[in-house]
Amino acid sequence: MTEKEKCKAGLLYNANYDQELIQERIAAKDLCGEYNQLKNSDTKGRTSLLKNILGKTGENICIEPSFWCDYGYNIEVGENFYANHNLVVLDCAKITFGNNVFIGPNCSFYTATHPIDAKQRNEGMETAHPIKVGDNVWFGGNVVVLPGVSIGNNTVIGAGSMVTKDIPANVVAVGNPCKPMRNIEK
């Protein structure tokens, strides 16, 4: 089993020394660097390059520079996706964003996690767990979403939150750790 196959299976894999994964990260980061240098007025060029970086997209998408990801092909975004400046997506596992997702500035989504054992960590070992974001979700600025988290439809994640566990649909959730504070009435 290759390191990439181990990663997709949710197993411990070597991310730091596997040449296939290293080359894929370099290619994605080169594309992100190119994207971040495009003029803001070049909306067609920006959209085209995003569609080349990301695994799957809706038609109406916008990510303000700067944007960085590990692989790109593990990121799926729905229709009407908007992310403000300084989005970081560590997409070692799949990250799925539904339709009408709005992300404030300086937000991060991390699928990778590292062993507690220092020897394994120093050998470059890690695991990756997918993140799933439903439709009509809004993230305030400076939100961090950790590996394996799912966020339900119509939810608002307050600014500065650290999302460590699943958040249900139709709530306003905030804090570190992020917790539902109130329901959203329909």
The pLDDT tens digits for 6-33 are: 999 999 999 888 999 999 999 999 999 9
| Per-residue pLDDT at 185 | 82
- CATH of the structural domain 3-154, one choice from 2.160.10.10, 2.60.200.20, 3.40.50.1370, 2.60.40.1510: 2.160.10.10
State the catalytic residue, choosing from 85, 114, 129, 132: 114
Catalytic residue status for 114: yes
Interior angle at CA 156, CA 150 and CA 158, nearest 5: 105
Helix H, strand E, coil C: the string for 67-120 is EEECCCCCEEECCCEEECCCEEEECCCCEEECCCCEECCCCEEECEECCCCHHH
Mean pLDDT for 55-72 is: 97
| Residue spans per domain, the chain | 3-154
Nearest alpha carbon to residue 150 among 91, 109, 184: 109
Q: How many CA atoms lie within 13 A of 11 on its CB side?
A: 9
The pLDDT tens digits for 121-179 are: 999 899 999 999 999 999 999 999 999 999 999 999 999 999 999 999 999 999 999 99
pLDDT tier at 99 (50, 70, 90 boundaries)?
very high
89, 83 Cβ separation under 8 angstroms: no
